[in-house]
Amino acid sequence: MDISFMIEIVPRLLRATWVTLQVSAISLMIGLVFGIVLGVLRVYGNRFIVWCTKGFVIVARGTPAAIQIYAAFFLLPRLGIRLPLFAVGVVALTFNTSGYQVEIVRAALESIDKGQIEAGLAIGLTRWKTMLYITLPQAVKRMMGPMTNEFANLIKASSALMLISLYELTKSGHAIIAATFKYAEVLVLVALFYFVLVQSLCKLSAYLENNVFNFGKTADPRNEFLN
């Protein structure tokens, strides 16, 4: 392997990594808002709303990310919506990730013991306030694991944005290969960059799960020995 070549292309790949990180992080944040709002409506909404959210999930989960990216790229302009390439990427990825996040939020909300809800109702909270103050805070902890999975998938799914020539990590690597034919060097570096992104995310998520959403220091029995 040509080490000096690898060092030489690091700055180019870093710039592209920054694009990957941005498009994933923004989609993740917007997707999180949609995921939680639609997930809550999926559980607490009336029949029509539940039907709509179910339909959304079927479409978003049932079609490949690549098709959704093409759809955003070709169909949005037809509807008179002209967006920069980066925004098209965000729309497509947000659509994709929201579909999965709705189901993560639904499953977490429904996993909370019914007794918690009854206790909330019994002290005079309305159904919505019970959800807001009791069910949702407890469900957030249970969402962390599956959400981390979803975010890791999202970062990797963003590589499909090369299809519409958004200059993210995979596209950048592809362009370097096309110019130099040095497959091995480029692919190893690209894979390594994705790996670092996903691992940092997992570490952050584990920290949040154990420290921020840890209800009481001894929620983790190991802590009893540390104190």
Q: Which residues bind other proteins (CB under 8 A)?
A: 113, 115-116, 118-129, 133-134, 137-138, 141, 215-216, 218-219
**First-to-last C-alpha distance (Å) of the chain:** 50
Residue 45 CB, shortest distance to other proteins, in Å, is: 14
Q: Whose Cβ is closer to other proteins: residue 105's or residue 157's?
A: 105
Q: Whose Cβ is closer to other proteins: residue 48's or residue 215's?
A: 215
DSSP annotation string for the chain: --HHHHHHHHHHHHHHHHHHHHHHHHHHHHHHHHHHHHHHHHHHS-HHHHHHHHHHHHHHHHS-HHHHHHHHHHHHHHTT----HHHHHHHHHHHHHHHHHHHHHHHHHHHS-HHHHHHHHHTT--HHHHIIIIIHHHHHHHHHHHHHHHHHHHHHHGGGGGGGT--SHHHHHHHHHHHH--HHHHHHHHHHHHHHHHHHHHHHHHHIIIIIS-SSGGGSTTHHHH-
Closest CA to 18 of 150, 158, 149, 151: 158
Residue 131 CB, shortest distance to other proteins, in Å, is: 12
In angstroms, rounded to a whole number, what is the distance separating the alpha carbons of residues 130 and 128? 5
Residue 145 CB, shortest distance to other proteins, in Å, is: 17
Q: Whose Cβ is closer to other proteins: residue 129's or residue 203's?
A: 129
Residue 141 CB, shortest distance to other proteins, in Å, is: 8
Residue 117 CB, shortest distance to other proteins, in Å, is: 9
Residue 36 CB, shortest distance to other proteins, in Å, is: 17
Q: Whose Cβ is closer to other proteins: residue 75's or residue 122's?
A: 122
Q: Whose Cβ is closer to other proteins: residue 147's or residue 166's?
A: 147
Q: Whose Cβ is closer to other proteins: residue 79's or residue 123's?
A: 123
